[in-house]
Amino acid sequence: MSDPLPDPIEIALREDLGDGDTTTQFFVREDLRALGRIVARERAVVAGTEIAAEVFRRVNPKLNVEILQPDGIALSGGETILEVRGAAASILTAERVALNFLQRLCGIATLTRQFVEAIGKSRAKILDTRKTTPGLRALEKAAVVAGGGANHRSTLSEMVLVKDNHLNAGAGFSGFVNAIQRLRQERPGLRIEVEADRLEQVRSFLEVDGIDVILLDNMEPTEMREAVAAGKGKVKFEASGGITLKNVRRIAATGVDYISVGALTHSARAIDLSLELTHVGT
């Protein structure tokens, strides 16, 4: 069993606090209580509410946090996502870290929803990739799901994805075929996907037993359509490379089963959120 991953909240709080929140210590009385509201300043799909709430609780377990807009909800802007009540000093100390998680994860969910909506009623699924922020993969992949997408593999051990560099570093095509056969014998339940960037490769892979998915890398839609026609009923097809909101509908129309979009996690823009402190008193 692998060692547990580092706690992202602990890392983020340690990074932000240093030796303590000096500003709050000197300018905010310990006995002050307040209501803090995290508000969306623009249209967004919500994600990351539970980890944002946990940030407040880690700073002060006595804070009362209420999530008003659950993950997956689409906002038009102006709504309160969560409220936190209790010591004003603790709310202010936790503010930045909670917002950092929430605005990042809402950004991923929002961009994912845009891709999902862009392909309309297509049966293709929008997938994420492993192009995630180090240490935050589980959170970012959960945000993709909140946006209506689906997760590709999270770890290298979950499935096989043979890319061009693996083929270049291997023992040629015969070695590739032997490896597929060995995998099927030793790990019969493991999903096997292979990458192709030319139609000739697709045709070669279709002759190999044991492949589940062929990834069509940076192919033109006309080539994708031809590949799908050649492999219909034999394997699933995934489109990848250069996928944008402008071309994703056209790619979905080729008949591919999956469309993986690295931009969901590596290029999502943070959503504009703010924490408003009100009802300050003793």
As annotated, the active-site residues are 96, 131, 163, 195, 217
- How far is residue 120's CA from residue 248's CA, in Å, rounded to a whole number? 10
> Which token pair is 225?
């359509």
The answer to whether 113 touches 147, Cβ cutoff 8 Å, is yes
> Which token pair is 176?
């590739």
* Tokens 């823009």 found at: 269
- Which one-letter amino acid corresponds to residue 187? R
> Which token pair is 170?
């291997």
Which DSSP symbol is given to 8? H
- Which one-letter amino acid corresponds to residue 219? M
For residue 132, what are the CA distances in angstroms to 48, 104, 202, 229? 15, 12, 28, 33
